A and B are shown apart, each in its own frame.
Chain A
Amino acid sequence: MTEFLQQLLNGLSLGAIYALIALGYTMVYGVLRFINFAHSDVFMVGAFIGYFAGQRLPHDSVLSGFATLAAAMAGCAVLGILIERVVYRPLRGGPTLNVLITAIGMSLFLEYTGQLVFGATPRPFPSIIPARIISIHGLVISMNQVIVIVVAALLMVALELAVYRTKIGTAMRAVALNPKAAQLVGINIDVVISFTFGLGSALAGAGGVLYALNYPSIDPLMGVVPGLKAFVAAVLGGVGNIPGAALGALILGMTETFIDGSRWSTYKDAIAFAVLIGILLFRPAGLLGRYATEKV
């Protein structure tokens, strides 16, 4: 039982990080119908912003933790908006494949610029948060895990409010449903797209810092694997569907952790992806996704 709870907790914190990344993939897909492959590298940049901010702030303080998080979120929001404005927007209106290839190029650009600037050697992430371990009946809970789960949950509630309770959030859903009709009520699509990139990138930035807290070294290629998994989580939940991305990420995180804790741990990723393929075979549109006929 303790073992089960322990894995549940580990899975929850891993899934929460995947969720923060997956939400950005799914929101951008929702409004632009393309996968922003550079998103996983925005996550990496978030971790690096956290690294440099964390070094300059007093360690072992919750306040520094929040400041670090805020810095990474703000920095990544700006980066995401810039990437869209400078790289993707000029290609809008052309074939989707062009943007998709450009997104892969942008991803490689960020990864190797990262290596040039930060070096390829992994760096230890500063211990911003007091490293406390709570032990209840053999259940080991680290302060970091608690923070990851609580912060991710709060951010998702904030996202929910932003998307469902604000005017710009409603406009974002309107653009995702029908960009032409959205323009006809006077919505400036460019503003909504910038907002979407900013929001998604801020969450990825937060994900980068939270990930770095639990996996204490960071390097410019650290985004590749979590990014791929978050992308898969978004597809699993039904790409374009916001609650779906969170659900898909939790399922993926849990599956991975439980297999990791079993005697098949070597095949962790293989089994996790097999589960995914299985689910997609039965629900090709994803868990919460619906088949929508593409309007032309």
Chain B
Amino acid sequence: MLEVSNLFVSYGAIAALRGISLRVEKGAIVTLIGGNGAGKTTTLRTVSGLHRPLGGTVRFLGEDITHVPVHKIVARGLGHVPEGRMIFSNLTVDENLAMGAYLLKDKAAIARNRDYVFGIFPRLKERLRQTAGTLSGGEQQMLAIGRALMGDPKFLMLDEPSLGIAPRLISTIFEKIIEINRDRGIAILLVEQNANLALEISSYAYVMETGHVTVEGRSEELRDNPQLKAAYLGG
């Protein structure tokens, strides 16, 4: 599904990624964990084309997308729920969802996607006419995920879906992520600070530190890794 090899990215003189490689297989949930400034968000943004790498390649569905414009990458079936949600705050919930389906021409498919989104996040249906900026943090996250689902992605990248959300909503959001993966077969690449949670729902994990992947492996094995336990899993 996704194959990132040896990616180098810098912001001016500061190197953000120093040779990142990772893979996401069809139908898998893979997680990317690590501290602040490790380069997790930069990795996702480079995959979706928002940042251009100095070196390395990104292959999606077998094709090189390293230099393809963002909207064309999205058209190939990549969904990206960005850090900080980036919903269109002055637009209504309804308009946000409509924009999510911007590339779809088939009205019936759009209606099906809406029904699916309302099925997993009934709260959005109640708030359709509301301006998106007035939603709570958790509802905004639901909208951001819902908006990405409206575009029928084959692969979804989620950047810190638990950030700034009421604790009781976090488990709901993670249950929905599992549901999306299971029911629609959408492969997921999850960036998460909450490493415990991320390792619990994923099958494979990469641990990043200052622009490098330092550890990778099956999530259940990493859960017992003493080094990781000390650094990210709270002992």
Q: Which residues of A does B touch, CB under 8 Å?
A: 167, 170-171, 173-174, 177-178, 180-189
Contact = CB atoms under 8 A, between A and B. Distances in A.
5 contacts: A171-B99, A174-B88, A177-B90, A183-B50, A185-B100
B65 interface: no
A188 B88 contact: no
Interface of B: 48-50, 69-71, 74-75, 79-80, 82, 86-91, 95, 98-100, 102-103, 147-148, 150-151
Q: Which 4 A-B pairs have the closest CB atoms?
A: A181-B86, A183-B70, A186-B103, A186-B74
A181 B91 contact: no
Given A180-B82, A183-B50, A185-B74, A173 B103 contact: no
Given A170-B91, A177-B89, A189-B71, 18 more contacts: A170-B99, A174-B99, A177-B88, A180-B82, A181-B82, A181-B86, A182-B99, A183-B69, A183-B70, A183-B74, A184-B50, A184-B74, A185-B99, A185-B148, A186-B71, A186-B151, A187-B71, A187-B102
A173 B80 CA distance: 20
B102 A186 contact: yes
Contacts of A187: 71, 99, 102
Contacts of B75: 186
A29 B90 CA distance: 17
Contacts of B147: 185
A183 B71 contact: yes
Given A184-B70, A184-B74, A173 B50 contact: no
Given A177-B90, A184-B80, A186-B103, A167 B98 contact: yes
Contacts of B71: 183, 186-189
Contacts of B148: 184-185
Given A184-B86, A185-B100, A187-B102, A174 B70 contact: no
Contacts of A171: 99, 102
Contacts of B91: 170, 173-174, 177
A182 B98 CA distance: 12
Contacts of B80: 184
A181 B87 contact: yes
A31 to B, nearest CB: 13
Q: Which of A167, A174, A184, A188 has the most CB of B within 10 A?
A: A184
Contacts of B103: 185-186
A60 B131 CA distance: 49
Contacts of B151: 185-186
A185 B147 CA distance: 8
A178 B88 contact: yes
Contacts of B98: 167, 170
Contacts of B99: 170-171, 174, 182, 185, 187
B212 to A, nearest CB: 26
B88 A184 contact: no
Nearest to A189: B71
A170 B97 CA distance: 11
B60 to A, nearest CB: 14
Contacts of B86: 178, 180-181, 184
A16 B95 CA distance: 30
A180 B87 CA distance: 10
B81 to A, nearest CB: 8
Q: Which of A170, A180, A185, A186 has the most CB of B within 10 A?
A: A185
Nearest to A173: B91
A181 B70 CA distance: 10
Contacts of A189: 71
A173 B99 CA distance: 10
A15 B215 CA distance: 65
B83 to A, nearest CB: 10
B148 to A, nearest CB: 8
